[in-house]
Amino acid sequence: MIEYFNSFMIAVESLTKQKLRSALTLIGIVIGVASIIGIMTTMEAIQTYMEKSLSVLGSTVFQVQKTPFMNVGPSDRHKYQNRKDIKIEHADAIRDRAKKVANVGAEDWTYGRVIRYKKKSTEPVYLVSGATPEWSPNNGYYVDVGRFLTQLDVDYSRFVMVIGTEVVEDLFPFIYPIGETVKFEGRNFEVVGIIEEQGSEMGQSRNNMLVIPITVYQKIYGKEGSINITISAKSSELLNGAIDEIITIMRAVRKVAPGEDNDFEIFNSESLIAFWNDMSRNLKIGSILISFISLMVAGIGIMNIMMVSVTERTKEIGIRKALGARKKHILTQFLIEAVLLSLTGGLIGVILGVLLGNVVASLMNLSIAIPWFWVVVGLIFCSFVGIASGFWPALKASRLDPIESLRFE
Amino acid sequence: MTLIDIEGVKKIYDLGAEKIHALDGVSLKIERGEYIAIMGPSGSGKSTIMNILGCLDTPTSGSYYFEGEEVSKMDDNQLAGIRNQKIGFVFQTFNLLPRISSLQNVELPLIYGGVSLESRRERAELVLERVGLADRMNHKPNELSGGQRQRVAVARALANEPSIILADEPTGNLDSKTGEEIMVLFNQIHEAGNTIILVTHEEYIAENAHRIIRLHDGLIASDEVVRMHTMN
Ligand SMILES: Nc1ncnc2c1ncn2[C@@H]1O[C@H](COP(=O)(O)OP(=O)(O)O)[C@@H](O)[C@H]1O
Ligand SMILES: [Mg+2]
């Protein structure tokens, strides 16, 4: 044991005496480890966020949309564009016929619009939603002050508006907003409610939003295009039954022939999680590949530098052998040097990766994460790289002839 | 007991075109406590015999017994063990590791001998004091004079309390005054009971020894006791 500790100390010493060379050798390792740890850190942060926010969304809510959550290829896009649009009538049909659902809402969204009040105007509002009353429970946003939209607002296309707290701050710093009239898309709206303050998600504030009746929304933006239908099942046990029920109703209403594929998409938090897992798995495999390759290249670099080091230190090896160093002493000294080199690079890589990953995560407003599993895997792999690439040079060193080595200048 | 016993030792370098008989059949017995000088012209085989005696090199043929054990039959690791425990080698060019302190240099054979950290430090400090370098322990070799470097090398050779000190032209790189100071050190070490073999070109250095062996073309030309040595 003491011998290995000594070999360790000898190795540390000779590495610190050759700082520049050691540093150069480290770069490859640092890149390899930093890239994998950086990506894993970001993934971990997103994962934590996804799990938290999707569980808030509720396990009973699902959506019907014309196109999938994310289009994959150009040919797919074409196929989805040719589908019939989803209309408010579809939502009405579901509301009439489905037995296993609690709330059926029709909604549509747009972004970046401005609201004015007297001389003041807001920043472009992040989220503009045309909605039905079910919007509130289905999305988990509840009104704090005033009221939410009612069915009458929708049926009579009333120009009423529910706003987020940031809109309140922009327009009504000193005035009670309920009952005030604001200008939006050239029309006058009455403010009827304020949504309670929310946390922010993915770098975007969720308080910077406004909601108007979907009928009014369509008067402004037109009736073309698809809406989303948001549905909550009566209970989580009924979720799968409710989804089947909605598929049947939608196929009937949209006259999809038996045997043909659905011409709409359904997804809930589970399928979003599945989609996310799919995407993150590919990203992870990609980053593992990148790291693997750069660590392999780095390993060759370490082998090279160790070979040079062994040659340059032939005299030193001769002296050590003359003083009684055995093969195993020389072997472990150089092996430990190689492992220390790659582990140092690995540690720097871990620190850099965690920092970078968390910078990305905090740009997306996610909480800080450390992917411990990958930190451990990365460091273990670095040790292997060190052993594998240091072995041959170390063996060469241990086999040097003492007399010939001593003669080396 | 006989410390070293070699019989008919040959060292032949086969250079293809010619064969160099660096040692051409050397037999020699060395007792514990002897103080021997090996002399001879350049190329006569002095370093070759020292390296073989020091277990750094192996003879082409012939036998070598060290403390009754047959060295010529040992493997690399056993030879390393002998070098570490039984032999203290002092080189003409000092052969200190340049980047570490005197103390750390002296600790090297103790490290390979498996001595624990604390007693190693203690022993290294002790031998450095013994060679008069108590105040230079943390100096690196390039911060020391030639004489001081050779003292560190002697301290390193003494660290594991070996059976014999082998010194190949230990004063060869030193001026004569410093050389004589080193010889005073060797004399002290011998008086303390150590066995010493040293190679030298200089008669006045060789005069310190009790027995002078002269080599010529890989053979012993003469082997004479010049002074009775005190057996301990
Ligand atoms: N590695 C070697 N290869 C070939 N010849 C060698 C080698 N080492 C020593 N010799 C030869 O062996 C002879 C004895 O050398 P050496 O013992 O170093 O002499 P000395 O120390 O007495 O000057 C010399 O002729 C030298 O050239
Ligand atoms: Mg010589």
Question: What is the residue with the minimal CA distance to atom 27 of ligand 1?
Answer: B43
Distance of CA A321 to the CA centre of its chain: 55
What crossing angle do the helices spanning A372-398 and A19-57 adopt, rounded to 10°? 160
**Better-predicted residue by pLDDT, A77 or A83:** A83
Assess whether pLDDT exceeds 90 at residue A351.
Answer: yes
In chain B, the largest separation of any two C-alpha atoms, in whole Å, equals 54
Assess whether pLDDT exceeds 50 at residue A18.
Answer: yes
Assess whether pLDDT exceeds 80 at residue A200.
Answer: no
pLDDT digits (tens, 9 = 90+) for B93-114: 999 999 889 999 999 999 999 9
Assess whether pLDDT exceeds 80 at residue A273.
Answer: no
ipTM of the prediction: 0.95
Assess whether pLDDT exceeds 50 at residue B79.
Answer: yes
Question: CB of B51 within 8 Å of any CB in chain A?
Answer: yes
Q: Per-residue pLDDT averaged across A329-355, rounded?
A: 90
Q: Per-residue pLDDT averaged across A14-22, rounded?
A: 70
Tell me which residue has tokens 């790189």.
B173
B43 C-beta closer than 6 A to ligand 1: yes
Which among A14, A323, A326 has the least Cβ separation from residue B109? A323
Q: Based on C-alpha coordinates, what's the Rg of chain A?
A: 32
pLDDT digits (tens, 9 = 90+) for A85-118: 999 999 999 999 999 999 999 999 888 888 999 8
Residue B229 pLDDT: 54
B20 C-beta closer than 6 A to ligand 1: yes
The rounded distance, in Å, linking the Cα atoms of A178 and A308 is 78
Residue A76 pLDDT: 66
Which chain B residues have a beta carbon less than 8 Å from that of A406? Answer: 56, 91, 95
Residue A268 pLDDT: 79
Assess whether pLDDT exceeds 70 at residue A382.
Answer: yes
Nearest bound ligand to the CA of residue B42: 1
Average pLDDT, chain A: 86
B77 C-beta closer than 6 A to ligand 1: no
pLDDT range class, residue A293, cuts 50, 70, 90: confident
Assess whether pLDDT exceeds 80 at residue A78.
Answer: no
Q: Per-residue pLDDT averaged across B74-88, rounded?
A: 96
Q: Tell me how far the alpha carbon of residue B97 lies from the centroid of ligand 1, in angstroms.
A: 25
Residue B232 pLDDT: 44
Residue B2 pLDDT: 92
**Better-predicted residue by pLDDT, A361 or B141:** B141
Question: CB of B85 within 8 Å of any CB in chain A?
Answer: yes
pLDDT range class, residue A389, cuts 50, 70, 90: very high
Q: Per-residue pLDDT averaged across A187-191, rounded?
A: 95
A403 contacts B56? CB cut-off 8 A = yes
pLDDT range class, residue A348, cuts 50, 70, 90: very high
Question: For strand B61-66 and strand B69-70, is the pairing parallel, antiparallel, or unpaired?
Answer: antiparallel
Interface of B with A in 160-189 (CB under 8 A): 160
Which among A6, A325, A406 has the least Cβ separation from residue B80? A325
pLDDT digits (tens, 9 = 90+) for B18-45: 999 999 999 999 999 999 999 999 999 9
A324 contacts B113? CB cut-off 8 A = yes
Residue A187 pLDDT: 94
pLDDT range class, residue A388, cuts 50, 70, 90: very high
Query: By the 8 A CB rule, do B222 and B38 touch?
Result: no
Q: Tell me how far the alpha carbon of residue B218 lies from the centroid of ligand 1, in angstroms.
A: 9
Nearest bound ligand to the CA of residue B46: 1
What does the buried/exposed string (b/e) look like for B173-193 if buried means 16 or more CB atoms within 10 Å of the residue's CB? bbeeebbbbbbebbeebbeee
Interface size A-B, in CB pairs within 8 Å, comes to: 64
The rounded distance, in Å, linking the Cα atoms of A168 and A171 is 5
Q: Which of A323, A328, A330, A399 to mutate to test the interface with B (most CBs of B within 10 A)?
A: A323
Taking CA–CA distances from A325, the nearest residue in chain B reads: B112
Give just the sign of the alpha carbon dihedral A163, A168, A172, A178: positive
Q: Per-residue pLDDT averaged across A350-363, rounded?
A: 89
**CB atoms inside a 10 Å sphere around CB B100:** 18
Report the gap between the CA of A20 and the closest CA in chain B (Å): 16
DSSP B142-203: GGS-HHHHHHHHHHHHHTT--SEEEEESTTTTS-HHHHHHHHHHHHHHHHTT-EEEEE-S-H
Q: Per-residue pLDDT averaged across B127-150, rounded?
A: 96
Residue A75 pLDDT: 60
Average pLDDT, chain B: 94
Rounded to 5°, angle at Cα A8 from A6 and A10? 70
B195 C-beta closer than 6 A to ligand 1: no
Which among B76, B83, B99 has the least Cβ separation from residue A323? B83
Q: Per-residue pLDDT averaged across A109-133, rounded?
A: 87
Q: Per-residue pLDDT averaged across A117-123, rounded?
A: 86
Residue A5 pLDDT: 65
Residue A73 pLDDT: 53
B232 C-beta closer than 6 A to ligand 1: no
Assess whether pLDDT exceeds 70 at residue B56.
Answer: yes
Which chain B residues have a beta carbon less than 8 Å from that of A319? Answer: 95-97, 108
Which helix or strand (DSSP H or E) is residue A389 part of?
A: helix A372-398
Percent of chain B clearing pLDDT 70 (strictly above): 98
| Three-state SS at B3 | strand
Q: Per-residue pLDDT averaged across A131-153, rounded?
A: 93
Residue A364 pLDDT: 76
Query: By the 8 A CB rule, do B156 and B189 touch?
Result: no
pLDDT digits (tens, 9 = 90+) for B147-193: 999 999 999 999 999 999 999 999 999 999 999 999 999 999 999 99
Question: What is the residue with the minimal CA distance to atom 3 of ligand 1?
Answer: B13
DSSP secondary-structure letter at A334? H
DSSP secondary-structure letter at A229? E
| Three-state SS at A65 | strand
Which chain A residues have a beta carbon less than 8 Å from that of B57? Answer: 402-403
Residue A3 pLDDT: 54
B48 C-beta closer than 6 A to ligand 1: yes
Q: What is the pTM of this model?
A: 0.72
pLDDT range class, residue A280, cuts 50, 70, 90: confident
